[in-house]
Amino acid sequence: MKRIATFVKSYKWMWPLIPAIGLIAVFFVLPMIHLFRLSFLKYDPNQIYLPIYTLENFVKFFGDIYFWNMIWVTIKVGLLTTVGVIVLGYPVAYYLTQCYGIERTLLTVGFLMSLFVTMLVTTLGWAILFLPYGLIQQFLEMFGLIAGRLQFIKTVTALVIVLIHIHLPYAILILAASIQAVPEEKMQAARMLGAPNYKVFLNIMIPLTMPGIVSSTTLIFMLAVSSYLVPVLITGYSVRVLPIAIWSYTSELLNWPFAAAISVVLFVITAVGTYLFLVVTNWMTKRGQWEMV
């Protein structure tokens, strides 16, 4: 008894940690363990799952070419979005660190306000633009680029455009923070020694902002492969990605063990994607030179 009392007394200062640790443990760690376990349980149409361990969910998933195709489409959408966001966002982030006054306010509001608006609004706006005979069609017809009904709304291109728009602000924020941290003297030194602009960019800017590029890339990839609201609303079921499958197996088909198995696969894709990207960037930038993530 006495030992317990001293134990409690010596850890008494820790009590304010209890709500936070409890919250994460109960409402994050436990559900994730439960989900992982569920992916190995047997599906039953009446009771949803039976307490029998089996690999049949994964066998069904990997034995079907349909799901392999789905993995491929998911990764493709994720990669296209990530590359688009970084390539389009980097110059914007650079410019944001260089301007000031009213222009800076205008650009900050313009580029980052969508963080404060639910992504449904962005999606609806693009959906209206993409509609057959909508604004984009009228614009393209003006230049005689297309004729007839535009079939754009249900394509991967439309999906990637919306995903890029939604995720661009996150990348701009992270990239701007790391571009801001690049010392001006280093760039001036390179210029004084006669380096042309593209060399300053390739040899100074890119390596020094690598941590920002890495953390925005991994974040955007994770968000893009796991997004399902935009695919559901923009492409419906014509572009099948893993999150849509998770959704329909959960709420429509009520096959929870299979939905859990797809979730595990999706998580592995995000984890492996992040890891591979770290390995590649470490290798390309001579490992250990910059602290990653």
Partner 1 sequence: MWGRFGLKIYIYIMLFLMLLPFFIVLPVSLTKTSYLAFPPQGITLKWFIVCFQDRILVESLILSLKLAAISSALVVTIALMAGMVIERNQFRGKIFLETFLTSPRIVPVIILVIGLLIFYYSIGLAESFTGLVFSHLVITIPFAFRTVLASVVTLDVQLEWAAKTLGANWFAVFFRIILPQIKTGMIAAFLFSFISSFNNVTMALFLSAPGQRTLPVELFNRLHIGGITPTTPAISFLLALMGVILFIVLDRTLGIYKYLAGAKG
User: What span, in angstroms and rounded, lies between the C-alpha atoms of 273 and 281?
Assistant: 12
Say if residues 136 and 128 touch (Cβ distance below 8 Å).
Answer: no
Nearer to partner 1, 50 or 284 (CB): 50
E strands, 10-109, in order: 41-44, 48-53
In the list 1, 4, 20, 145, the residue contacting partner 1 (rule: CB under 8 A) is 20
Size of site (CB under 8 A) for partner 1: 80
- For position 277 contacting partner 1 by CB under 8 A, the verdict is no
Site for partner 1 in 219-248 (CB under 8 A): 219, 222-223, 225-229, 232-233, 243, 246-247
Q: How far is the CB of 177 from partner 1 (least distance, A)?
A: 5
Q: How far is the CB of 117 from partner 1 (least distance, A)?
A: 4
User: What span, in angstroms and rounded, lies between the C-alpha atoms of 22 and 35?
Assistant: 19
Site for partner 1 in 44-83 (CB under 8 A): none
Site for partner 1 in 191-220 (CB under 8 A): 197, 219
Q: How far is the CB of 212 from partner 1 (least distance, A)?
A: 10
- For position 288 contacting partner 1 by CB under 8 A, the verdict is no
In the list 140, 177, 195, 200, the residue contacting partner 1 (rule: CB under 8 A) is 177
Q: Measured between alpha carbons, how far is residue 247 from residues 127, 191, 233, 260, 262 in Å? A: 21, 53, 13, 10, 10
Report CA dihedral (49, 54, 55, 58) to the nearest 10 degrees. Answer: 0
- For position 134 contacting partner 1 by CB under 8 A, the verdict is yes
**Residue 163 neighbours by CB under 8 Å, 6+ apart:** 77, 81, 224, 227, 230
Say if residues 187 and 205 touch (Cβ distance below 8 Å).
Answer: yes
In the list 124, 202, 253, 276, the residue contacting partner 1 (rule: CB under 8 A) is 124
Give 265-279 as a DSSP string.
Answer: HHHHHHHHHHHHHHH
Nearer to partner 1, 71 or 219 (CB): 219
Which of 227, 222, 240, 216 lies closest to 292, judged by CA? 216
- For position 280 contacting partner 1 by CB under 8 A, the verdict is no
Site for partner 1 in 81-110 (CB under 8 A): 88, 91-92, 94-95, 105-110
- For position 128 contacting partner 1 by CB under 8 A, the verdict is yes
Nearer to partner 1, 55 or 121 (CB): 121
Say if residues 49 and 38 touch (Cβ distance below 8 Å).
Answer: yes
Q: 3-class DSSP state for residue 13? A: helix
Backbone angles phi, psi at 43, to 5 degrees: -80, 140
Q: Which one of 22-30, 62-70, 140-148, 149-157 is the stretch in contact with partner 1 (CB under 8 A)?
A: 22-30
With residue 91 as reference, give the H or E element that holds it.
Answer: helix 65-98
- For position 182 contacting partner 1 by CB under 8 A, the verdict is no
- For position 31 contacting partner 1 by CB under 8 A, the verdict is yes
- For position 43 contacting partner 1 by CB under 8 A, the verdict is no
Q: How far is the CB of 147 from partner 1 (least distance, A)?
A: 20
- For position 35 contacting partner 1 by CB under 8 A, the verdict is yes
